[in-house]
């Protein structure tokens, strides 16, 4: 437990990005059940409205606001940040959850594709956090969450863009944890393993990747996504309440973390063998 004491979910508003599906959509009702008002941000209007309507119906006493923004667009990120600062001064929890995936070796990925991943997964996190940090610091006991990834712990072949973005999130979060230690703001870095979300379905594939290879990669990726998003959301909120600095979700994150620590220079061979076994089973 941190010296800050338990986080009080009833004390303010929680902002969640990537709230239209997956972990973000699961966090929304879980936060409302704990007494938080909500600001839900995503670019998918239909899914976001459905999540918001469901939370309002189940928790009529909670204020639920939606913000539409494509986090790949810096201008939209800035507008969203300005809105959050101006209209939600009671924000005490920011969960940077939104993210996109991109599959393809570095020599198959265009710089535009690479930059889009960095924009959504890292630059938007930086911009929104920078904008809302004064608000969080104005409420001692506030908390910041960034969702990194298993690929913020290891970097397998074919994930140069995604791993770069998630390692960057990890480093950014760790630095902020140290900087904010005396400011009354808790910080948690989350590293989910194979969570059952739409990330495989919606993952970008580099334009140079052959169609058959791309389809096979998506199928293999989807088979790894088994951990329920509602359980992941509960674990994240427990970590927030207890002020845990770091959270690994699922054996698919915990085991690779140990592997990387034991064999930091050679874990790639183990991953390659595992990928080959998965491919044979998928035939």
Question: Is the pLDDT at 202 greater than 70, yes or no?
Answer: no
CA dihedral angle for residue 9, residue 20, residue 103, residue 268, rounded to 10 degrees:
20
pLDDT beyond 80 at 210: no
Place 260 in a pLDDT band, splitting at 50, 70 and 90.
Answer: confident
What's the confidence (pLDDT) of residue 257?
Answer: 85
Categorize the per-residue pLDDT at 223 as very low, low, confident or very high, splitting at 50, 70 and 90. Answer: low
Q: Give CA angle at 205 (189, 18), nearest 5°.
A: 35
Average pLDDT over residues 11-37: 97
| Residue 215, pLDDT score | 66
- pLDDT above 90: residue 199: no
More confident site: 14 or 257: 14
Residue 146 has pLDDT above 90, yes or no: yes
Is the confidence at residue 198, as pLDDT, over 60?
no
What are the Cα distances from residue 106, in Å, to 53, 103, 151, 206? 41, 9, 15, 9
Tokens of 26: 């699961």
* Among 72, 70, 71, 52, residue whose Cα is nearest residue 62: 52
Structure tokens at 99: 């993210």
Which residues are the active-site residues? 162
Q: How far apart are CA 250 and CA 232, in angstroms?
A: 8
Please state, for a pLDDT cut of 90, what percent of the chain lies above it.
72
Domains along the chain? 9-281 (3.40.50.720)
The whole-chain average pLDDT of the chain stands at 90
Q: Is the pLDDT of residue 26 over 90?
A: yes
Q: Provide mean pLDDT across the span 138-157.
A: 95
pLDDT at 141: 97
Q: What pLDDT shows up at residue 263?
A: 84
Residue 113 has pLDDT above 90, yes or no: yes
264 CA to centre of own chain: 24
């Amino acid at each position: 437990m941190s010296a800050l004491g338990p986080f009080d979910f009833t004390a303010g508003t929680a902002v969640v990005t990537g709230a239209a599906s997956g972990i973000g959509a699961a966090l929304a009702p879980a936060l409302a059940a704990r007494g938080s008002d909500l600001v839900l941000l995503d670019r998918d209007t239909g899914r976001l409205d459905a999540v918001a309507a469901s939370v309002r119906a189940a928790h009529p006493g909670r204020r639920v606001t939606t913000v539409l923004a494509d986090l790949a667009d810096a201008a939209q990120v800035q507008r969203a940040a300005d809105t959050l600062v101006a209209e939600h001064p009671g924000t005490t929890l920011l969960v940077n959850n939104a993210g996109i995936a991109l599959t393809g070796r570095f020599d198959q990925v265009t710089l535009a594709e690479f930059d889009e991943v960095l924009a959504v997964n890292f630059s938007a996190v930086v911009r929104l956090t920078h904008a809302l940090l004064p608000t969080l610091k104005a409420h001692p006991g506030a908390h910041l969450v960034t969702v990194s990834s298993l690929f913020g712990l290891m970097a397998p072949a074919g994930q140069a863009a995604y791993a770069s973005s998630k390692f960057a999130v990890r480093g950014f979060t760790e630095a902020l944890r140290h900087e904010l230690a005396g400011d009354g703001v808790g910080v948690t870095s989350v590293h989910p393993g194979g969570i059952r979300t739409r990330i495989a379905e919606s993952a970008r594939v580099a334009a140079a990747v052959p169609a058959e290879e791309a389809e096979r990669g998506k199928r293999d990726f989807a088979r790894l996504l088994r951990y329920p998003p509602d359980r992941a959301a509960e674990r994240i909120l427990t970590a927030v309440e207890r002020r845990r600095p770091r959270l690994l979700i699922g054996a698919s994150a915990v085991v690779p973390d140990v592997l990387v620590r034991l064999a930091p220079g050679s874990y790639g061979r183990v991953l390659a063998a595992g990928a080959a076994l998965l491919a044979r089973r998928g035939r």
